[in-house]
């Protein structure tokens, strides 16, 4: 039995576990490195401890000081627990969409949490990083961790995660797979493994589908903690200094659906409860393993536990309401009403005025009652969209009515004159929908608005169900 002399000593030295069930039929050995075994429950404990120790060494953080960071959760939890142990105040700025469990955890460790709207351009003062920086600048004795650019973040993995993998596989690791948030985990670990293996270990970045790291459009996604989003109004796509892209040999792009369903499979088939980005990394590792022969050993990082996501990825109601359903649309569900599951919807740039939006829809020949969604402008006029990027729904008829009732309103932003709509997942039973007059229902397929249904379509079905 390992005895630790302090909580901080219980960070690192996580187990490698061979995936026997998920790896069945695959030629290489696939091992998961269980980072949720760190004392704070995630891979980020390593970076948090390393960054705080470096700040102390550099004289940036002293007794009575305050640790500040903008973080989607796990880094904050790591910083909060290390700060609690060492007697520092911890203040965390977190995106409003962060899982409720993580926010409660932060508060449990005594951190002060400020929730911040999470989808504004990097230059906006309200951006998470800018809010945290402004707070640190205004607070005497405060130190801003800046995990994205802090060299002590990847360094944590170069001195611990990498050597542990090398030691525990007796130097047999041939492929290393990890998701990328700040890039600290993949860069530090890869740097060590490349060096130890004379460059032969292959490094695979598992990237959420819309992330710009792997070539995506920067759009919003569901898995928290990995990938790189980009607000369309951002002038530059700035990648973290912690991420050394030269160390990555390949990117595997993994959809939200594949990440979530892989995490669920791991729980049900392997008995391993893992989070969303673990699902991303595991999906990539399993795909990679299909290509490899017996001589290979794949190690995949499992950044955190599924316990953080019991109310989302592991909740059947959440899964149904967001449209992440494994099977074909069943009879009696909203999905069965969509002509084509990935049909897509009309999209308009969110800044358009009432008259410009009406003109554009008319130019496209969109029927008067067909809804369109005002969304962050990613240069698409048709397709699926994450609901977080949508500001309003309109139709040619609703826009015309605005202009008729008040001609001056024609020059106002169309987003101020949206029609109400509700969001339902493709798996939602039609009988479960509240059918109010004029109600527009936006249907989520795999978490993105991919179609709409209106009351006239639903009424006969709902009646026949009851
Ligand atoms: C759940 C989860 N997965 C993956 C990562 C990515 O780790 P890194 O920032 O080291 O790239 C993070 C980082 O916060 C995370 O919280």
- Rounded to an integer, the average pLDDT of 164-186 is 98
Q: Is 277 in the pocket of ligand 1 (CB under 6 A)?
A: yes
102 lines ligand 1 (CB under 6 A): no
CA–centroid distance, residue 409 to ligand 1 (Å): 45
Query: Using a 6 Å cutoff on CB, does residue 223 contact ligand 1?
Result: no
Q: How far is CA 357 from CA 217, 343, 394, 395, in A?
A: 23, 21, 9, 9
Ligand 1 centre distance from Cα of residue 181 (Å): 5
Q: Which tokens hold the place of 319? A: 């899964």
What pLDDT, on a 0 to 100 scale, did the predictor assign at position 462?
43
Nearest protein Cα to ligand 1, atom 7: 181
| Structural domains for the chain | 7-42+151-309 (3.40.50.1100), 44-144 (3.40.50.1100), 321-465 (3.10.580.10)
Nearest alpha carbon, ligand 1 atom 6: 181
Assess whether 33 carries a catalytic annotation.
Answer: no
Q: pLDDT tens-digit profile of 314-335?
A: 999 999 999 997 556 677 888 8
**Pairwise CA distance, residues 418 & 393, whole Å:** 5
75 touches ligand 1 (CB under 6 Å): yes
Residue ID of nearest Cα to ligand 1 atom 16: 225
pLDDT at 460: 47
pLDDT at 297: 98
223: alpha, beta or left? (left if phi > 0; alpha if psi -120 to 50): beta
Question: Which atom of ligand 1 has the smallest separation from the CA of 304?
Answer: 1
pLDDT tens figures, 210-242: 999 999 999 999 998 899 988 888 878 889 999
Whether 288 shows a pLDDT value over 50: the answer reads yes
Measured in whole angstroms, the distance separating CA 263 from the mean position of its chain's CA atoms is: 14
Q: Which helix (H) or strand (E) holds 298?
A: strand 297-302
* Ligand 1 and 70: CB distance under 6 A: no
Q: Give the per-residue pLDDT at 327.
A: 59
> Closest ligand 1 atom to the C-alpha of 182?
9
Could you tell me if 426 and 443 are in contact, meaning their C-beta atoms sit under 8 angstroms apart?
Answer: yes
Atom of ligand 1 nearest to the CA of 183: 11
Q: Work out which ligand 1 atom sits closest to the CA atom of 75.
A: 14
- Integer Cα distance of 7 and 102 in angstroms: 20
Whole-number percent of the chain with pLDDT over 70? 94
CA 28–ligand 1 middle distance (angstroms): 26
Catalytic-labelled residue, pool 33, 44, 102, 257: 44
SS3 call for 17: strand
| Helical ranges in 316-382 per DSSP H | 316-322, 354-363
Cβ(274) – ligand 1 distance below 6 Å:
no
């Amino acid at each position: 039995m390992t005895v630790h002399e302090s909580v901080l000593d219980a960070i690192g030295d996580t187990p490698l576990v061979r995936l026997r069930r998920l790896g069945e039929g695959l030629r290489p050995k696939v091992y998961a490195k269980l980072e949720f075994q760190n004392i704070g429950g995630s891979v980020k404990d390593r970076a948090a401890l390393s960054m705080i120790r470096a700040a102390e060494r550099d004289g940036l953080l002293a007794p009575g000081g305050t640790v500040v960071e903008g973080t989607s959760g796990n880094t904050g939890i790591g910083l909060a627990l290390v700060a609690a142990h060492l007697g520092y105040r911890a203040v965390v700025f977190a995106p409003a969409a962060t899982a409720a469990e993580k926010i409660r955890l932060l508060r449990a460790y005594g951190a002060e949490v400020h929730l911040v709207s999470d989808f504004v351009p990097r230059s906006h003062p309200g951006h998470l990083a800018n809010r945290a920086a402004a707070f640190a600048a205004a607070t005497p004795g405060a130190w801003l961790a800046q995990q994205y650019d802090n060299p002590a973040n990847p360094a944590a993995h170069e001195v611990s995660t990498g050597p542990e993998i090398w030691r525990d596989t007796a130097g047999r690791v041939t492929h290393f797979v990890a998701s990328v948030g700040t890039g600290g985990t993949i860069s530090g670990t890869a740097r060590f493994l490349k060096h130890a293996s004379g460059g032969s270990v292959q490094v695979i970045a598992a990237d959420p589908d819309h992330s710009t790291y792997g070539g995506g459009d920067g759009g919003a996604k569901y898995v928290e903690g990995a990938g790189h989003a980009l607000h369309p109004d951002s002038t530059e796509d700035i990648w973290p200094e912690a991420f050394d892209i030269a160390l990555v040999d390949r990117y595997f792009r993994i959809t939200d659906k594949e990440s979530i369903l892989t995490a669920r499979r791991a729980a049900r088939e392997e008995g391993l409860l893992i989070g969303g980005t673990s699902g991303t990394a595991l999906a990539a590792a399993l795909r990679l393993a299909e290509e490899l022969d017996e001589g290979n050993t794949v190690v995949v990082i499992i950044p955190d536990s599924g316990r953080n996501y019991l109310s989302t990825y592991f909740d059947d109601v959440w899964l149904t309401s967001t449209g992440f359903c494994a099977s074909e649309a069943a009879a009696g569900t909203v999905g069965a009403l969509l002509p084509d599951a990935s049909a897509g919807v009309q999209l308009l740039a969110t800044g358009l005025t009432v008259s410009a939006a009406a003109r554009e829809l008319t130019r496209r020949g969109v029927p008067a009652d067909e809804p369109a969604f005002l969304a962050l402008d990613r240069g698409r006029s048709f397709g699926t969209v994450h609901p977080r990027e949508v500001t309003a729904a309109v139709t040619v008829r609703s826009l015309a009515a605005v202009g008729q009732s008040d001609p001056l309103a024609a020059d106002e932003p169309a987003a101020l004159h949206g029609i109400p709509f509700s969001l339902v997942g493709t798996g939602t039973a039609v009988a479960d929908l509240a059918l109010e007059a004029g109600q527009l229902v936006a249907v989520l397929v795999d978490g993105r608005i991919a179609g709409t249904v209106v009351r006239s379509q639903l009424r006969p079905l709902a009646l026949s169900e009851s």
